[in-house]
Amino acid sequence: MLKIENLHARVEGKDILKGLSLTVKPGEVHAIMGPNGAGKSTLGNVLSGREGYEVTAGSVSFEGVDLLALEPEERAAAGLFLAFQYPVEIPGVNNTYFLRAALNAQRKARGEKELDSMQFLKLVREKLKIMQISDELLHRAVNEGFSGGEKKRNEIFQMAVLEPKLAILDETDSGLDIDALKQVAEGVNALRSPERSFLVVTHYQRLLDYIVPDYVHVLAGGRIVESGDKSLALKLEEHGYAWIAERHPEFAGQALVGERA
């Protein structure tokens, strides 16, 4: 589904990703862990096509298509979804209106029939049940005045409606208390399916207690330095990111040393 090969990317003239490779198959959940500054958020931004992220080498293919050649909206229509670490507040744009416009834009781009307001409402009602989201949020402007937990739940709700093939969760756990974290994880788990893959980017192991990954990768210095199953996350939790530095002396002296997971 997703094949990243030797990806190099820079932001504001600074090399952040330095040879990242990763393959995700349909239905798999991959966790990407790593210390602050390792390039975790950069990966999500590069994959979703944010401006200002320059790919200097490597390739990304998504369902056989060169993902990097597509505009952000084309990537969305192709089935990619990024749940933002910091969802943006958009005053004046109604949440439901926005979501219907987004879904219909994607459907149009894929040559599918657009949904009328009745069909859309029916879809939304189904998804609301999964997300346990209050429909009051739907009538408000996108993310405006939402609490941290509401914003993250709204991201997952959007994902439920847009039904992507690959969802990237960018530090979705950040800023959430344990109850909100559980709710978000339940929403994600409800969307797991053999056709849908997830890339769960997180700093902490905690989220992975609730969204259990098939694979865990450690990102450090702009590339994946360790891969394993979910036990790798527990090992990191136990030893901290300093353990990575010990196993990879090339990182000695860099910021990740001494940082605890």
Residues interacting with other proteins, by CB under 8 A?
48-51, 71-73, 75-77, 81-82, 84, 87-88, 90-93, 98-99, 101-103, 105-106, 109, 141-142, 158, 162
- In the bound state with other proteins, the residue whose beta carbon lies nearer, of 53 and 241, is 53
In sign, the C-alpha dihedral spanning 34, 37, 38, 41 is: positive
* Of 70, 78, 65, 63, the residue nearest 25 (C-alpha): 63
- In the bound state with other proteins, the residue whose beta carbon lies nearer, of 109 and 178, is 109
Cβ-based neighbours of 238, under 8 Å, separated by 6 or more: none
- In the bound state with other proteins, the residue whose beta carbon lies nearer, of 73 and 246, is 73
- From the CB of 75, what's the least distance to other proteins, in Å? 8
The torsion of the CA quartet 106, 71, 4, 200, rounded to 10 degrees, works out to -50
- In the bound state with other proteins, the residue whose beta carbon lies nearer, of 11 and 102, is 102
- From the CB of 240, what's the least distance to other proteins, in Å? 33
Distance in angstroms (rounded) separating the CA atoms of residues 85 and 41: 8
How far is CA 136 from each of CA 96, 133, 156, 175, 235, rounded to the nearest angstrom?
A: 10, 8, 16, 22, 42
- From the CB of 81, what's the least distance to other proteins, in Å? 8
- In the bound state with other proteins, the residue whose beta carbon lies nearer, of 10 and 151, is 151
- From the CB of 90, what's the least distance to other proteins, in Å? 5
- From the CB of 166, what's the least distance to other proteins, in Å? 13
- In the bound state with other proteins, the residue whose beta carbon lies nearer, of 41 and 205, is 41
- From the CB of 183, what's the least distance to other proteins, in Å? 21
- How many other β-carbons are positioned within 10 Å of the β-carbon of residue 161? 18
On whether the CB atoms of residues 101 and 158 are closer than 8 A, the answer is no
- In the bound state with other proteins, the residue whose beta carbon lies nearer, of 39 and 87, is 87
- From the CB of 100, what's the least distance to other proteins, in Å? 11
Rg (alpha carbons) of the chain, rounded to whole number = 18
- Per DSSP, helices labelled H in the chain are 40-48, 72-78, 95-109, 117-131, 148-162, 178-191, 207-210, 231-239, 242-247
Distance in angstroms (rounded) separating the CA atoms of residues 93 and 195: 32
Token pair recorded at residue 13: 């003239």
